[in-house]
Structure 1
Amino acid sequence: MTISILTKELWRKSIHLTSLFIVAVYVYLGKPIVLDMLIVYLVLILLIEHFRLSRGIKIPFFDILYREKERSCVGGHVFFVLGSIAAIAAYSKEVAITSILMITFGDMVASLVGIKAGKTPLKGTNKSLEGSVAEFFTDLIIAGVLLQSFSVAFVMAAVATSAETWLTGIDDNLSIPVLSGFSAELMMLIISV
């Protein structure tokens, strides 16, 4: 069965919607519970990844969602959980939630727009200008609504989009929440002085 690139990417990115559950647990049950839950989940997926990589065990349905580069290394979902843990542990609730939603929706929009409408490649990357612009505005809206500060939202969206577009050595599922969250906290500190 052949799956189109767009369909496969839709399925891959829909898994990021689990972040809505993470955010709900954080909002309603608090930081300690969401961190405990994420750490248990991280251990579980690391065990699964170990067996997948060391023993070649294929997990039905999920196996088709791995990108080619992830077939022989740890999948992006591990970095997504690590990024969520780092953001929740290190940043204020508002910033952590914003950065998690940015990796969820900004990355999703960038990928889907890039696949469907990306016409202008960005030099030195496999990204498109159209996907990056779509991500920036998605992130700007998310941060603007949740943080209610245009300057913080702008910087956070710019950092998240830059991490997604230009930072190639670190998985964006980790770099976006960590770097965008840090930039937001730094901007809030600067503004409050």
Structure 2
Amino acid sequence: MSTSVPSTPRVLKISRTPKTTGKIITKRYMRTPDGKRTMLEFNDRDYDESQDATYIYEESEDEDDLYLDDEDDLIIEEKEIDSSEVESRDETESATSTTTLKVSDEIVNDFHNYIAGMGQFRQFLFKHEIPRKVFHSSIGFVTLYLYTIGVQHQQLIPVFIGLFAVLFVNDYARMHNPEFNRKMVKFFTLIARESEANEYNGTLWYVAGLFIVFMLYPKDICVMSCLLLSWADTSASTFGRMFGKYTPKVSKNKSLAGCMASFITGIASCYVFYGYFVPHYNEKVNGPNDIFWTPENSKLTIHIYSLLSGLVASFSEGIDIYKIDDNFTIPVLSGFFLNLVVKLAHK
């Protein structure tokens, strides 16, 4: 980053609505080579040195100017710069610009305050996402239970529609009502992530992905997609956090350790479902066309099919598609590739 400054620096003045109480804007001061003091917006959690600016701010002796109320408007006024100075510094730079100081997000701050106020045990649970992982992995066991009592996958489609509607309305309300959002974030703190405080939560994507799979594919492919989403994704997250720093990254937020865990869990899931549950409950709960893969109608043995299931799980978990939530991409990609593999190997 260049440290040079123009001979006549830009002066930014901060003004505010007349409030006497509020929140201090965090500031960080440094000095330019000519000794002038600069002020930078600074966030301890997200600080990136490459994002430092070197705007020079007008100093004020009135400390109240450093305060902002939640409802105050932050106004930044910029003086015009002589065009010759602009051209000498950078021909492509605009003669005037507007700089916006980002005020810390209140909902995220509340989220951190909730965590800080917890006891050590609850903080441990949150840090390692144990309640979230238990909830996530429990869906796989619920899926197998529903399979054993004869629930057909078509019967769950209206349930997914209803759940999606409820979750969408709830999240939409959160996005447009900060006070309601604070209450919901506080209530679901142990199973939520900071990134979901101001975004649509992962459960909404979870339901949307399963809805598509259950609409398009046979019963056994639907069950396998649920197991890979529930168990393979959970194992990838767990082992990725534990050992990901020792292995290469396969994408921005995915490690080889997580993909390997997903691969092994995918293999085990296939053996569990097709090796035990399908043979033991086939006559009680399945119709003629419910099970797409069987040893009799496929060129794939259960061992090869299990290995392919592991590869599908690992690929679906490791790929990052336009930052789409993996609770959506994992079941959709798993269902697509498993169905394709079985179809291509059909006798």
State the TM bucket, normalised to the shorter chain. Answer: 0.7 to 0.9
Could you report, residue by residue, the CA deviation over 1:125-145 in whole angstroms, capped at 9, with x for unpaired residues? 222222211111001111233
For 1:79, the equivalent position in structure 2 comes to 205
Q: 1:66 to 1:105 in 2, by over 3 A?
A: same
1:163 Cα offset (Å): 2.4
Q: Which runs of 4+ in 1 moved over 6 A?
A: none
Could you report, residue by residue, the CA deviation over 1:80-120 in whole angstroms, capped at 9, with x for unpaired residues? 11111112111111111011111101111111112223321
1:19 Cα offset (Å): 4.5
> Which is bigger in relative contact order (C-alpha 8 A, separation at least 6)?
1
Asked if 1:146 is matched to 2:254, the reply is no
For 2:331, the equivalent position in structure 1 comes to 177
Is 129-138 or 160-169 further displaced after alignment?
A: 160-169
Asked if 1:108 is matched to 2:234, the reply is yes
Instruction: Report the RMSD for the aligned CA atoms in angstroms.
Output: 2.3
Percent of aligned pairs sharing the same letter:
26
Q: What letter is aligned with 1:35?
A: I
Is 66-75 or 17-26 further displaced after alignment?
A: 17-26
Could you report, residue by residue, the CA deviation over 1:14-61 in whole angstroms, capped at 9, with x for unpaired residues? 222235335544553323321111211111111111111221223143
Matches within 5 A, 1:124-163: 124-147=251-274, 149-163=302-316
- Asked if the contact 1:83/1:175 (under 8 Å) is kept, the reply is yes
Greater helix content: 1
Asked if 1:166 is matched to 2:287, the reply is no
Asked if 1:46 is matched to 2:168, the reply is yes
Q: What letter is aligned with 1:160?
A: A
Q: Structure 2, unaligned stretches of length 5 or more?
A: 1-114, 117-122, 276-301
Q: Secondary structure at the match of 2:254?
A: coil
Greater strand content: 2
For 2:192, the equivalent position in structure 1 comes to 66
What is the TM-score when the length of structure 2 is the normalising length?
Answer: 0.51
Q: What letter is aligned with 2:134?
A: S
Distance 2:208 2:312 in 1: 18
- Asked if the contact 1:42/1:81 (under 8 Å) is kept, the reply is yes
- Asked if the contact 1:160/1:177 (under 8 Å) is kept, the reply is no
Aligned pairs, how many? Answer: 193
- Asked if the contact 1:143/1:156 (under 8 Å) is kept, the reply is yes
Q: 1:83 to 1:124 in 2, by over 3 A?
A: closer
Q: What letter is aligned with 1:51?
A: A
What is the TM-score when the length of structure 1 is the normalising length?
Answer: 0.87
Larger radius of gyration: 2
Is 104-113 or 139-148 further displaced after alignment?
A: 139-148
Distance 2:156 2:192 in 1: 26
